[in-house]
Structure 1
Amino acid sequence: MNTVPRRGPVAEFFVGLWTVMNFTRRLIVNFIFFGLLLLFLLVMLAIAGSGGTKPLLDNTALVIEPTGPLVEQFSSDPAERAFKHAMGDREGDEIQLRDLLRVLDAAKDDERIERVVLKLDRLQASGMASLREVAEAIAKVKASGKEVVAYGEMMDQKQYLLAAQASEVYLDPMGGMLLEGLGRYRQYYRQGLQDKLGVDVHLFKVGEYKSAAEPYVLDAASPQAKEADLFWMNDVWQRYLGDVAKARKLDAAKVAEGIDQLPAGIAAAQGDLAKYALQQKLVDGLKTAEEVGDMLAERGAADSDAEDGYRQVSFDAYLRHLNAKINPLDERPQVAVVVAEGEISGGEQPPGRIGGVSTAELLRNAREDEHVKALVLRVNSPGGEVFASEQIRREIAGLKKAGKPVVVSMGDLAASGGYWISMNADRIYADPSTITGSIGIFGLIPTFPRALDKIGVHSDGVGTTRFAGAFDITRPLQPEVGQVIQTVIDKGYRDFTGRVASARKRSVEQIDEVARGRVWSGAQAKERGLVDDFGGLQDAIADVARRARLGKPGSYQVRYLEKDVPPFAQFFSRFAESRIGARLFQHSALAQGLAQTMLPRALPQTAQDLRFLESAIEPTRGVPVKALAYCFCGF
């Protein structure tokens, strides 16, 4: 007969301890499971029930109060944006141009929207082309008979271009607003890099106007750079003055005179910037935010529960109303839109950047998708790597070869590599104030032997040929090596101008006359045959739909092709946007702490320039230098 041996007291203690620990573990797991189950049920209830939107009533004011930069494409994922919005955290926000235009266009015809209120203090506007598109959309709302009221505390001249389109513009009595003109100034590093640090930067380029890399080799802008910049900037600025004068029913020359006489005018106003803006007829009155709110409450439907005392709907809430009407099962033929925004780099790149692989893949998907009948490429880019630009251009050519028309819509900036990816389109649209051109190539190689010598470090060794290790940046750059690099850059320029000539059906000599790295406004580019027509994104969409014979608007759908969002991110963003999700996250200290660590921090200009220099010298297989088609031509 077998007997079970009895455990000793020590063994019994550890067995009991293990039993307690095992029970505790199962209990914790069960708590987590049921907690997640409860959260899931709340999500389903929120999405199926309220959906985060309230019914839109009659006599509602649409309040547009954008926070952050105006962009073509979000640079963060939907889950992160929804997460931060749910907590009321607006720092690091972005507003998509397409969303703003869509909201204004819908409000124009929506009988429930009585008026539009613009609060533009926190808008970080970018270039003039996108602002002019928004300004035109605001003007259409006003032309439809609806009142547009703009209010600001401190407005810059870019924000004011939008405010000027309103029926009435009000400024805080203690606020300010100045028109000052356009300027473009950069830091120059030759003395700091070469004389102070001992870093020798070797520049190889084609085109006397190709000034993107000048800050690394000069102490001040070259005469050619100043000549070219002032030429296109004056064109853009005169158009700005004309737009403001037209909207405010003023004389453009008088507006310009007011800027020229700024010191005397402000002195006469005893330093009161708001009063000076009123005297110049740039605003209609001086009111506090509370006074504007009271005025709108008297004109519209009073609502004691609303922030300013009148019935209103926010931009985000109104956009959700519009998105709720989208039919996910729409079977109409598609015009695809691919956004190419930011610098052009090799490989896969996140949103807000253009990748030679990732952007080309989106274009290839459009070519292979039988539902996509035509494509619009929306370009807002200063350019970047030549090879990555060529990868994208080839896909544009592939779409056309497959029988799918392609039209380019240029945004604020489509220069250098941004023009490279645009040139093969069936038609190129730009705003007169778009910045484009800059057809040129350059390469940069910094060498560090003198810098290393300052700290007693030297490079030495052997090679099987005189060119082995010749591109090592710790060694002096030999003249023969510089000759090789310049030959490569010359070839890149021939490729660029040759492809433009072929695409634009011009001779290489004709293209060279308007190339050589020179930057043009959209109006100047059209005069020189680099752009086909003036217009915005909607003009480009209508054009490409006609080319594909898709019929009248309404017989086709417009679909933005972007990287697929993981299912969990979609699920999480819908939950965070719901009212239940918002309340949950607003009271989560952990969530707020995580959000603070994810907030982007803007780098100073110097850090950006040095980062660009670092990226320019990253080794590339098979070539002595990374050829760049890049333009530092913003303002």
Structure 2
Amino acid sequence: MTAVGRRHPWRSTQVVRGHYGTSAPLIYRGGMAPPKILLELDLAAGLLEAPPADPLAAWRARSTPALADIVRRLRDARERDEVVGLVAHIGGSEVDPSQAEELGAAVEAFAAAGKPTVCWAEAFGETGNGTVDYHLAAHFDEIWLQPSGGLALVGFAAQGVFARDALDRLGVEPQFRMRKEYKNAPDTVLRQSMSDAQREATQRLTDGMTDAVVTTVARRRSLDADVVRAVVADAPLTAEEAKARGLVDRVGYRDEVYEELNRRAGVELEQRYVHRWSPPRRAVMERRLRHELPRRLGRSRPNTIAVVPVVGGIMLGRSGGSPVMGRTAGSETICAALRAAREADDVGAVVLRVVSPGGSYTASDAVHREVQRLRETGRPVVASMGSVAASGGYFVAMGADEIVALPSTVTGSIGVFAGKLVVRSALEKVGVAREVVSTGEQAAMWSANQPFTDDELVRLDRWLDEVYADFTQKAAAGRGMAIEELEPLARGRVWTGTDAKERGLVDRLGGMEAALAEAARRARLDLDDADIVRYPHASPLSRLRAPAHSDAPNAALAAPSLGALDLLTGAASPEALLGRLAATAGVGVGALRLPPGIISH
């Protein structure tokens, strides 16, 4: 790597005062010189998918950078002469596979602009799996590893959790039906081992994700793919072994990394976290004036790309969530944001950012409807898939003009399931008896106190068939396929983004930047000059006011988080509490959902 050591006009100046981590200008002989900034990225605390919309959650996560924010700021920094490079601390991060791919692409683009990139780690998986961390590191020009560290580039593992025996012992009877054989979320409570269909699909997921890592590492390290596969087979490696096999450039400690970067630059660099850096105010004002003058003269055209997030389990109501129940994507919030984007004169295109394992069928269908209404105005909608956009997550995305997924995105799962956990026997074991009195043949159909009757099972099966038919027909229409072509790709099966693209379920591979570029192209906008605005958007003052109507900007903002209290809120009955506990196992949050956490890394 030579970019770090390139000669700058300020290289021969001599530092009189200055130190790491200051935001004050450095003083040089001959007067004040503009600081040269080395951007820093510390991923030890992981990455947020996006800044929380809830102010309380945002305050809690104030020290954790957001992926979208990091990518945007790296794009801005490519054009700034005062930014001379990027250094990242990666080892021990909580970055997931798709975030590694998306952030890695932004790092490569930053380096392509002539900005050197260096990363360092104490270890890539000291006593665990370092595959994802190293996958991200491979996108940097230079990799440093601490002498006592190692490289656990071991691939991916997947697991299924099965609790049928435990439920039988407790006296809890699971009653679930699914469409079809690959829709395996209920297997967590229905089975005590992995089905052949689940094993087949899960094996393909781990194979595909490992293939993606091998391909990237081979390309970036100029190695043959078979050499990288041999490393995967032999790992974990020591630091010296990793260097000898071409996976690491330098073995050294953090202080040696920074000393070397300053030595190459010939000047003590000013460090700044990427998420704390922004372009100079003058540059921002110039950009705003380029938009404001045509608007005042009546010659402006839509120049905004609205980004609407669908992050978390999809549910009816407002978006929200908590550390216990996880983040939720409320259809009320998402639909209001899509309506606001449709009514805004300055919005030329919309990017639907989907990071969701699915959830409610009716909530997903409501979002799908608003996507269609937005497209009817002639404005393009591009879906950008993150780590997972499956089941209900695929449902909301499939009607977009274009779907962009990352190679490791878990998507598809076009299928449906429904059912309940019957707790009557469990309650009887602890001396609790309950009787149900109802008016109406199906009034107690979903009661956890009694099993489904034969007639209720017929009705449940009929509803599942209707949902599956609606899902597959809308997916076929959205993808421009005949139903006979799409249905074999459905059946509840999950795919990686790479496999989904090969089968026509997504259009292209890429991250949020690729989705924004496609949205700008379709709207005939210059992405560098476009305003990228997160919807729903409301000023801090409007958040404090009561909404005037259902389409007001502050009408459908995220509900505040209540932390652990969310688990018990509203759980006034055993069914309610059991339902909330089942939600954490992935079998209680709607008919269109994946099982949780099948991939470990």
CA distance in 2, matches of 1:388, 1:215: 24
- CA distance change for structure 1 residues 173 and 323 in 2, over 3 Å: closer, same or farther? farther
- CA distance change for structure 1 residues 517 and 424 in 2, over 3 Å: closer, same or farther? same
Contact conserved, 1:382 with 1:633, CA < 8 A, in 2?
no
Q: Does 1:249 align with 2:218?
A: no
- CA distance change for structure 1 residues 55 and 361 in 2, over 3 Å: closer, same or farther? farther
Q: Does 1:173 align with 2:144?
A: no
Query: Displacement, 1:554?
Result: 4.6
Of 345, 366, 372, the match for 2:347 = 372
- CA distance change for structure 1 residues 107 and 335 in 2, over 3 Å: closer, same or farther? closer
CA distance in 2, matches of 1:553, 1:147: 24
Q: Does 1:314 align with 2:283?
A: no
Of 212, 228, 239, the match for 2:212 = 239
Q: Does 1:612 align with 2:583?
A: yes
Counterpart AA for 1:75: P
Counterpart AA for 1:136: A
1:375-400 per-residue CA deviation (whole Å, 9 max, x = no partner) reads 11111111111111011111001101
- CA distance change for structure 1 residues 287 and 476 in 2, over 3 Å: closer, same or farther? same
1:346-395 per-residue CA deviation (whole Å, 9 max, x = no partner) reads 10112753111111110011111122122111111111111110111110
CA distance in 1, matches of 2:192, 2:365: 33
Contact conserved, 1:153 with 1:175, CA < 8 A, in 2?
yes
Q: Does 1:102 align with 2:64?
A: no
Number of aligned positions between the proteins? 524
Query: Displacement, 1:233?
Result: 2.4
Counterpart AA for 1:101: V
Counterpart AA for 1:318: W
Q: Does 1:220 align with 2:193?
A: yes
Query: Displacement, 1:609?
Result: 9.3
Corresponding position of 1:627: 591
Query: Displacement, 1:111?
Result: 1.6
CA distance in 2, matches of 1:477, 1:285: 64
List aligned pairs for 1:288-327, cutoff 5 A: 288-300=253-265, 302-303=267-268, 310-319=269-278, 325=284
Q: Secondary structure at the match of 1:312?
A: strand
Of 96, 105, 111, the match for 2:81 = 111
- CA distance change for structure 1 residues 322 and 152 in 2, over 3 Å: closer, same or farther? farther
Corresponding position of 1:575: none
Of 339, 344, 347, the match for 2:317 = 347
TM-score by length of 1: 0.75
Contact conserved, 2:311 with 2:328, CA < 8 A, in 1?
yes
Corresponding position of 1:23: none
- CA distance change for structure 1 residues 355 and 456 in 2, over 3 Å: closer, same or farther? same
Query: Displacement, 1:486?
Result: 1.8
Counterpart AA for 1:72: E
- CA distance change for structure 1 residues 397 and 446 in 2, over 3 Å: closer, same or farther? same
CA distance in 1, matches of 2:275, 2:598: 29
CA distance in 2, matches of 1:316, 1:462: 58
Corresponding position of 2:170: 197
1:520-559 per-residue CA deviation (whole Å, 9 max, x = no partner) reads 11221122221122233233223333333x3434554222
Q: Which runs of no fewer than 5 residues in structure 1 stay unpaired?
A: 1-51, 267-272, 304-309, 571-596, 619-625
CA distance in 2, matches of 1:421, 1:84: 27
Q: Secondary structure at the match of 1:546?
A: helix
Query: Displacement, 1:611?
Result: 4.2
Contact conserved, 1:108 with 1:141, CA < 8 A, in 2?
yes
Corresponding position of 1:594: none
Q: Does 1:357 align with 2:332?
A: yes
* Larger helix share, 1 or 2: 1
CA distance in 1, matches of 2:492, 2:117: 42
Corresponding position of 2:182: 209
For the pair shown, the structure with the greater C-alpha radius of gyration is 1
Q: Secondary structure at the match of 1:124?
A: coil
Q: Does 1:447 align with 2:422?
A: yes
Corresponding position of 2:120: 151
CA distance in 2, matches of 1:388, 1:74: 23
Q: Does 1:500 align with 2:470?
A: no
CA distance in 2, matches of 1:191, 1:179: 35
Query: Displacement, 1:421?
Result: 0.3
- CA distance change for structure 1 residues 436 and 442 in 2, over 3 Å: closer, same or farther? same
CA distance in 2, matches of 1:241, 1:486: 43
Query: Displacement, 1:483?
Result: 2.1
Corresponding position of 1:70: 47
Query: Displacement, 1:162?
Result: 2.1
Contact conserved, 2:37 with 2:82, CA < 8 A, in 1?
yes
TM-score by length of 2: 0.79
CA distance in 2, matches of 1:426, 1:514: 20
CA distance in 1, matches of 2:261, 2:196: 53
% identical equivalent positions? 31
Query: Displacement, 1:485?
Result: 1.4
Q: Does 1:185 align with 2:144?
A: no
- CA distance change for structure 1 residues 62 and 554 in 2, over 3 Å: closer, same or farther? closer
CA distance in 1, matches of 2:418, 2:579: 18
Q: Which runs of no fewer than 5 residues in structure 2 stay unpaired?
A: 1-21, 27-33, 125-129, 293-299, 322-326, 545-560, 568-577
Q: Secondary structure at the match of 1:421?
A: helix
1:26-76 per-residue CA deviation (whole Å, 9 max, x = no partner) reads xxxxxxxxxxxxxxxxxxxxxxxxxx9655934332222234232331236
CA distance in 2, matches of 1:225, 1:469: 33
Contact conserved, 1:435 with 1:521, CA < 8 A, in 2?
yes
Aligned residues: CA RMSD: 3.2
- CA distance change for structure 1 residues 474 and 551 in 2, over 3 Å: closer, same or farther? closer
- CA distance change for structure 1 residues 82 and 502 in 2, over 3 Å: closer, same or farther? closer
CA distance in 2, matches of 1:82, 1:323: 29
Contact conserved, 1:300 with 1:311, CA < 8 A, in 2?
no
CA distance in 2, matches of 1:239, 1:84: 30
Query: Displacement, 1:418?
Result: 0.7
